Structure 1
Amino acid sequence: MQKIVVTGASGFLGGRLLKYLTQHKRAIEVIGTGRRSERKAEFEQLHCQYQAGDLLDENFCRALLENADVIVHCAALSAPWGKREEFVKANIRTTQNLLNTGRKSGVKKFVFISTPSIYYDGRHRFHVSENDPLPSKPVNEYAATKWEAEMEVLRQNSPTFQTIALRPRAIIGEEDTVIFPRLLKAYQSGRLKIIGDGRNVVDLTTARNVIEAVICALYAPKEAYGQAYNITNGEPVILWDEINFLLTKLGLTPVSQHVPLGMADAFAKLMELKAKITGGSEPTLTRYGIGVLAKSLTMDISKAKALLTYQPVQTTREGIIEFIEWYRNQQL
């Protein structure tokens, strides 16, 4: 490969992927892009190329993708709340623009980072496969628009423009600014409580394992393209045990207080209703957020293992320790 373009590089996964691909010489040229320019100096110190720009801008995309062989599309608006038009712009229209411009520019491969949020239906679910039926209604606009974008990506697969989708579950690790930081913020404000019995089992995925899956996708046989793949650490864990492991390693008291699931769900429903009536910002609690913390969700990754030869290279605990070391350095 001569040139790889990584979108969403100003964020968590995209930034990690840009640095890894650059450092490990997976292409002669690797370029990251994002809407924000704050990380440009950081990337330049590591000899990473970065260009800030708008993926809705066709001229910017055309220049960015000149002589590119591969697009790894990590950029997305990922939130449990918001207006549909904002998610459509960020998740569907940018994907369409990259697909159309990439195909015209001679890009050969398109790797799309999708989401297992499309599986969420408010129930405990175990060993979910890519072929299992999806809920009749997506849980939120993020899940809805990512699913629409994924379908468009896979529809455009062809012998000359190979497309593939990865669905990593709950990405953690160094540079995570979403999952663990939000939990720690809730803990520090006294709002973090175990919802339900605290025995819900989930799959997590370290950023390093997602990177491994991307590399597998880049070198996959042609018959593996045009399909979506679940990606996880391959070791389901009890969520609250891992949260308390994180807290303990940070020298904090583990969470022990429980809140009944029904009570938490009813409170979140009221907060959502208030936000809709007032047109306010994202509520502190959403029903989806409650479900993520209280419901089990594990995924079958046998398809990725068989067709992509994907094998996790980092454990959940290693990913948590990696995050802790990075987080402590940020506090200095």
Structure 2
Amino acid sequence: MGYENLKFPEGSLFLVTGSAGFIGSNLVEAILKLGYKVRGLDNLSTGKKANVEEFLGNANYEFIEGDIRNFETCLKACDGVDFVLNQAAWGSVPRSITMPLLYEEINVKGTLNMMEAARQSGVKKFVYASSSSVYGDEPNLPKKEGREGNVLSPYSLTKKVNEEYGRLYANLYGLDTYGLRYFNVFGRRQNPNGAYAAVIPKFISQLINGEQPTINGDGKQSRDFTYIDNVIEANLKACNASHEAAGQAYNIAFGGREFLIDIYTQLAYALGKDIPPIFGPDRAGDIKHSNADISKAKKLLGYDPYWSFEKGIEAAIEWYSENLKSKEESKQV
């Protein structure tokens, strides 16, 4: 379903930065299942060791606790690596508005450290996480590469700068870089807790616990919610992409559009809960609507997402229901 039959040279070594995070840990798991070697790098500032503990006994997996803000750490992590999947970054638009200096340091300087370390180490492909937030205030749907507006937050700006460095490193130094503009990724291992938790796991967690969730705004904002396995496919297919496709950014989504209030209603029904949401103020820096044109990724990366929103949300509900219940039950033992 998307990436299970992909082949890479025997003995290939992948570096996944942010490997203890939501997307990173899922990439580690997928690559190990394909039979290739993985080195993980994470400073555990937002990632959790629990996300990768199950891989520590695997002979093909190595974990480095370190920070992409340290260039020597980046060089060490890139030593002997064929493919870099750079997921290390701080997310959240609202948090970036309160902490712009830290976002510059981690998301811009850290990513540049990784690109330079990859260049010096002879890495074949450098795939990095960008974001749909780079479209900013551009109102047209669907969102299409090359038609961007003014960014609305420091987080969005850091991703835009990442893409410019990716373009330069491909054009000036010949490093094959591929920017993946993720559209509202969701799925297993996504953290449901905290003020800046993603909306789907937070809703599921709160509903399971009988809490009343808050929807920012009127609930009529729409997003192209993208299941995690589509993102894994995009990362791995970028590692097989042509040199001609390098130095560019690509929309990574399913190409659908879901309204927040509809998602909440669907989750409440699936979980057997009758809890009306609270409607709060709009979040600063948020865009109202998001929907991706994925034709460029299909054409140049061979991206062909299998997981629709409906399939993905069913899998996510099942995973969170099992894992959140098991945690609650473990507290009672």
| Residue in structure 2 matched with residue 11 of structure 1 by the alignment | 21
Deviation of 1:205 after TM superposition, in Å, equals: 0.9
1:109 maps onto 2:102 in alignment: no
Structure 2 matches for 1:100-179, cutoff 5 A? 100-121=116-137, 125-135=140-150, 138-158=151-171, 160-177=174-191, 178-179=197-198
Shift of 1:104: 0.8
Q: Which amino acid aligns with 2:42?
A: G
Go from structure 1 to structure 2 and tell me whether the alpha carbon gap of 1:117 and 1:67 turns closer, same or farther (over 3 Å shift).
same
Residue deviations 1:2-35 (CA, integer Å, cap 9, x gap): 211011111000110111011112x3x2111111
For 2:284, the equivalent position in structure 1 comes to 287
Give the Cα–Cα distance (whole angstroms) in 2 for the partners of residues 54 and 62 of structure 1: 11
1:155 offset after TM fit, Å?
A: 1.1
TM-score (norm 2): 0.82
Residue 246 of structure 1 deviates from its aligned partner by: 1.8
Structure 1 counterpart of 2:22, which letter? F
Q: Aligned pair 1:42/2:54, yes or no?
A: yes
Aligned to 2:254, the other structure's residue is in SS state coil
Whole-Å Cα distance in 2 between the matches of residues 160 and 117 of structure 1? 27
Q: Whole-Å Cα distance in 2 between the matches of residues 45 and 237 of structure 1?
A: 40
1:244-263, aligned counterparts within 5 Å?
Answer: 244-253=265-274, 255=276, 259=279
Post-superposition shift, 1:73? 0.5
Structure 2 equivalent of residue 190 of structure 1: 212
The correspondence of residues 182-331 of structure 1 with structure 2, limited to 5 A, is: 182-184=202-204, 189-193=211-215, 195-196=217-218, 198-253=219-274, 255=276, 259=279, 264-265=281-282, 286-288=283-285, 291=286, 295-331=288-324
Deviates further, 55-64 or 313-322: 55-64
Q: Distance in 1 between matches of 2:215 and 2:241?
A: 43
Equivalents in 1 of 2:39, 2:223: separation in Å? 34
- Please identify runs of 4+ aligned residues in structure 1 that moved more than 6 A: none
Partner of 2:329: none
Segments of 5+ residues of structure 1 without an aligned counterpart are: 266-285
- Comparing 56-65 with 310-319, which one deviates more in the overlay? 56-65
Distance of aligned partners of 1:186 and 1:139 in 2 relative to their CA distance in 1, 3 Å threshold: farther
- CA shift, 1:305, in A, is 1.0
Closer/same/farther in 2, CA of residues 3 and 199 from structure 1, 3 Å limit:
same
Q: What does the per-residue CA deviation read over 1:227-267, in whole Å, with 9 as the maximum and x for residues that have no partner?
A: 1001111222333222221222222226477x5xxx834xx
Q: CA deviation at 1:208?
A: 0.3
How far is the alpha carbon of 1:194 from its aligned partner? 7.6
Identity over the aligned pairs, expressed in percent?
29
Q: Compute the displacement of 1:124 (Å).
A: 5.5
Q: 1:72 to 1:182 in 2, by over 3 A?
A: same
Q: Is the 8 A contact 1:125 1:296 kept in 2?
A: no
State the alpha-carbon separation in 1 of the partners of residues 308 and 275 from structure 2: 21
User: In structure 2, what is the Cα distance between the partners aligned to 1:102 and 1:169?
Assistant: 26
In the alignment, residue 31 of structure 2 is paired with which amino acid?
L
Cα distance in 2 for partners of 1:145, 1:195 equals 25
Unaligned runs of 5+ in 2: 1-8, 192-196, 327-333
What is the RMSD computed on CA atoms of the aligned residues? 2.3
AA of the residue aligned to 1:227: Q
Shift of 1:330: 2.2
In structure 2, how many angstroms separate the alpha carbons of the residues matched to 1:296 and 1:56? 33
Task: Measure the CA separation in 2 of the matches of 1:162 and 1:193.
Answer: 40
Distance 1:240 1:113, change over 3 A: same
Map residues 73-112 of structure 1 onto 2, 5 A cutoff: 73-79=86-92, 80-81=94-95, 82-112=98-128
Say if 1:116 and 1:169, in contact at 8 Å, map to a contact too: yes
TM-score, normalised by the number of residues in structure 1: 0.82
- Corresponding letter in the other structure for 2:69: L
